[in-house]
Structure 1
């Protein structure tokens, strides 16, 4: 209850997520405040904020939830079967184009497994695996990592355009840009300002690479994205990004995990399963 309210900062939303009524949630909070003899939340015009005492209790609640999860996993593992809930962090593109197929195939082999999947930017998925909030993260790009990781595939970063173009005219052509993680942004900007002095002519800004792709297909401009995104569209003109040194810019997709989690039958089985599959070809 405390953790959910801390993340939503809203009693109504927290009650909905917990499948309880708002008066029930309020009553339980009041009983906690009476028990500890301190206020735990402060009501704002919109939502709530936690007092220092309340934040301390939330930290303890998070720790206890983590301990509960560990003992549940340990007990599942002691059954000597592949069952339980696999927690996975997945970067946005991988979540849309790869993950559903992988989970379906894995479920066919291990029907007693459930999945808890979180999607977002690769940088967010990296933080999740660092904090051990997930068992495995599928991440685009290279991050500092001392745990285990397996390279799933490598892809070129390219310019995708609805029309033929010369490199010299690229700064004057309309470009469609999209929100992406810092690694991808740094790669493309390093390439751009190595070749050009003027900034790109960005005339459309969107949130997702999928939206960018649709804009390109409809002839509204070019985009800079990973080759796999536009591979199914042979009508588009694609050219890889190449530095003056001749080096092509590529992006890796990795599976990150902690070696200690391989002690769990569930995690070990999933990792071995992924290693046997040509993920890029899915």
Structure 2
């Protein structure tokens, strides 16, 4: 069996279904099914059984998965040890980055990093912060919003004030549609707390969209109000009616963190990337 086969077993156990595994590792469902069939035939044992709740390890599968995890960990340890002995910064840098950061900051960050360290290969996954946090163990470095990751070393990158935007005056005289977007629980909790405490703005919850950018575009066309973090507000939007969100007299902020394991932070490519982020030199013309 190849290392990729052991990694596939770990992914199947993590994502619980063949469909979810195929979607997240970018392999077709038939290919995943065929590979799992080959693995089980090779081992002469059934690794998973299919249930209404997804894939469940058999007793034999538990032994196989434990071996797979140990083998992959040993391989990673060997690879990291070899990298530490190299004088040049090279190897692979695996990143899990929140969608907002990846859209508005990451291109500039990676441009600076890859220009300085052209021998490093970037392995990048982007998504909602909740998704990145859930799979954080798969990356050298994660950049997430909201709460920092427990068990990781985390540095705050910037605070992102929240604002309510609309195309009409925010005077509370008329009820306005409120445009929500799918987000993680931390952000949803912030907005919900503000809604419960404020009594000036009248709203009705009529729309829920997939992400910040969609909510912003709907707001700009006059379809309702929405809450946006400062980092995604273009200069022209500041001409629209807006107000900062406060709770208990304090401005509401969403914090962005860079998190990593202590034991892998001394890898040359990881150390260089963390230094770039924590030195603030990546900001350039960006105003967080």
SS in structure 2 at match of 1:61: helix
Contact between 2:18 and 2:29, CA under 8 Å: does it hold in 1? no
Does structure 1 retain, via aligned residues, the 8 Å contact 2:133–2:149? no
**Cα 1:203–1:134, aligned 2, differ >3 Å: closer, same or farther?**
same
Find the counterpart in structure 2 of residue 241 from structure 1.
245
Instruction: Give the deviation of 1:259 after TM superposition.
Output: 2.8
Residues 181-200 of structure 1: pairs in structure 2 closer than 5 A: 181-196=184-199, 200=203
Aligned pairs for 1:87-102 within 5 A: 87-102=94-109
Distance in 2, Cα, partners of 1:26 & 1:206? 39
Structure 2: distance between partners of 1:223 and 1:40? 48
In structure 2, what is the equivalent of residue 253 of structure 1? 256
In structure 1, the partner of 2:40 is: 29
Aligned residue number for residue 279 of structure 1 = 283
Shift of 1:49: 5.4
Aligned pair count?
272
3-state DSSP of counterpart to 2:213 = helix
Kindly tell me: are residues 180 and 28 of structure 1, through their superposed partners in 2, closer, same or farther at Cα, counting changes over 3 Å?
closer
Q: Which structure 1 residue ranges, 5 or more long, are not aligned?
A: none
For 2:205 and 2:72, locate their aligned partners in 1 and report how far apart those are by CA, in whole Å.
46
2:159 corresponds to which of 145, 154, 163: 154
Give matches, 1:171-250, under 5 Å.
172-196=175-199, 200-234=203-237, 235-243=239-247, 245-250=248-253
Partner of 2:272: 269
- CA deviations on 1:133-162 (whole Å, 9 max, x unpaired) are 322111112336464332222221110112
Deviation by residue 1:34-84 (Cα, 9 ceiling, x = unmatched):
2xxx42234679x96543422442243133223212211221121122111
How far apart, CA to CA, are the structure 2 residues paired with 1:68 and 1:236?
54
Q: How does 1:121-136 map to 2 (within 5 A)?
A: 121-129=128-136, 132-136=137-141
- CA RMSD between the two structures: 3.2
Distance in 2 separating the partners of 1:22 and 1:184: 37
For structure 2, the 5+ residue unaligned runs are none
Whether the 8 Å contact between 1:160 and 1:222 is mirrored in structure 2 is yes
Query: Which piece of structure 1 moves more, 52-61 or 94-103?
Result: 52-61
Of 69, 77, 82 in structure 2, the residue corresponding to residue 75 of structure 1 is: 82
The TM-score, its normalising length taken from structure 2, stands at 0.81
Provide Cα deviations, 1:9-32, integer angstroms capped at 9, x if missing partner: 339958946997975653342121
Alignment partners' CA distance in 1, 2:133 and 2:61? 28
